[in-house]
Amino acid sequence: MATDLVPEVAQPAAGSPRPASTQRRKRRTPNFWRYRWLYLLLLPGLAYFVVFKYLPMYGLTIAFKDYVPFLGYSGSEWVGLKHFQELFTGPDFGRLLFNTLLLALLTILFVFPAPIVVALLLNELRVNVLKRSVQSLVYIPHFLSWTIVASLTYLLFSVDFGVIANWIHGLVGGQKTDYVAQADWFRPLIVLQLLWKQTGWGTIIYLAALAGVDSQLYEAARVDGAGRWRQFWHITLPAIRPTIVVMAILTSGHLMDSGFEQIWLMTTSLNRDVADVFDTFVYYIGITQGSFSYATAVGLFKGVVGVVLIFGSNFLAKRLGQRGLF
């Protein structure tokens, strides 16, 4: 009703001079003035993106310069690929790449499948109250900070009074192990933390996909004599395959992101050899040692690899006949 009225009201008598002029103005430029309030609303957010997202991208130019704070971005001298050469030929690169990729590999092997398995098990749970209670409890760690997670790890695994450390010692005997400080235990602890913190939360997206499955499919399968396992194999699993693919693309886009806070908080003087990854290395070099240009070059290298990975895995997913992200 209301929309019907608009053209009538807006239609002035034929022959009056006004409509022609407004029409002509409209054709020449979009009517920005008409949307002034919308642009006003847009402005603060846009300013945020320009200042805190796009200015830093301009700041990436210092990766190709010898940045001296006193001279500023434009005054500092261009040095081409010097910092990248330093990175690729330097002693740290191999170790950083190995540590970063090994952590990524462990994440893909252990952390990525965990929510899928738990979601599928939750989906088979037929007592709804239990399902909801389990969900509520396993989501909790997601909301705790990495600082808390690291603190809990210290409290539970420390040599002198850590409950889990003592428990393992009681079972195995022998010498006491300092899990938190020892380099050998760094990676298992990182994986354990990720599992504890993210598994429950990760199930949400798969459970949503599972909830969308048409129950008629299951009924039809039962009529055809399919058992529980076959229903799972032929209906449930295919139903979440697109979700798994999307999550896999996103995960591979983040292969080089090791989670700065987590790694940083678990790094000790004893495990730095295995703990150092690109993210924490950027912090040491840039913030602690003040080599802004070199650190920016390391960060840029990491960022570019990330973009390549996300587009690459998206392309691969499409090649394999799945729907990609974009």
Partner 1 sequence: MKQRVRYYDSVGSRAFDVLNVVFLTGLAVVTVLPLLYVLAGSFATESEISSRPFFLWPHKFVTDTYHYIFSTDTFVRALLTTVGVTAVGTVIQLLLTLTMAYPLAKKFLPGRALVLNLVIFTLVFSGGMIPTYLVVRDLGLLDSYWALVLPLAINPFYLIVVKSFFQELPEALEEAARIDGCNELNVFLRIVLPLSKPIIATFSLFYAVGIWNDYMSPLLYIDDSKKWTLQMIVRQLTAANADSANVLQQLETVTFPEQGLKFAVVVVATLPILFFYPFLQKHFAKGVLIGSVKE
Least Å distance, CB 324 to partner 1, is: 14
User: Site mask, partner 1, residues 192-231, x = CB under 8 A?
Assistant: ----x---xx--xx--x-------------x----xx---
Question: Does the protein bind partner 1 through residue 235 (CB under 8 A)?
Answer: no
- Among residues 96 and 200, whose Cβ is nearest to partner 1? 200
Least Å distance, CB 27 to partner 1, is: 14
Question: Does the protein bind partner 1 through residue 306 (CB under 8 A)?
Answer: yes
- Among residues 124 and 214, whose Cβ is nearest to partner 1? 124
Binding-site member from 84, 93, 110, 146 for partner 1 (CB under 8 A): 146
CA 161 – CA 153 distance, rounded (Å): 12
Binding-site member from 71, 125, 183, 220 for partner 1 (CB under 8 A): 125
Least Å distance, CB 255 to partner 1, is: 11
- Among residues 11 and 14, whose Cβ is nearest to partner 1? 11
Question: Does the protein bind partner 1 through residue 121 (CB under 8 A)?
Answer: yes
Which amino acid, one-letter code, is at 302?
K
Question: Does the protein bind partner 1 through residue 20 (CB under 8 A)?
Answer: no
- Among residues 93 and 146, whose Cβ is nearest to partner 1? 146
Contacts of 76 (CB under 8 A, 6+ apart): 62, 65, 66, 67, 68, 293
The one segment of 11-19, 84-92, 234-242, 277-285 that binds partner 1 by CB under 8 A: 277-285
User: Site mask, partner 1, residues 27-56, x = CB under 8 A?
Assistant: ---xxx--x-xxxxxx-xxx-xx-xxxxxx
The one segment of 16-24, 87-95, 97-105, 294-302 that binds partner 1 by CB under 8 A: 294-302
Number of residues that bind partner 1 (CB under 8 A): 102
Residues 54-73 that bind partner 1 (CB under 8 A): 54-60, 62
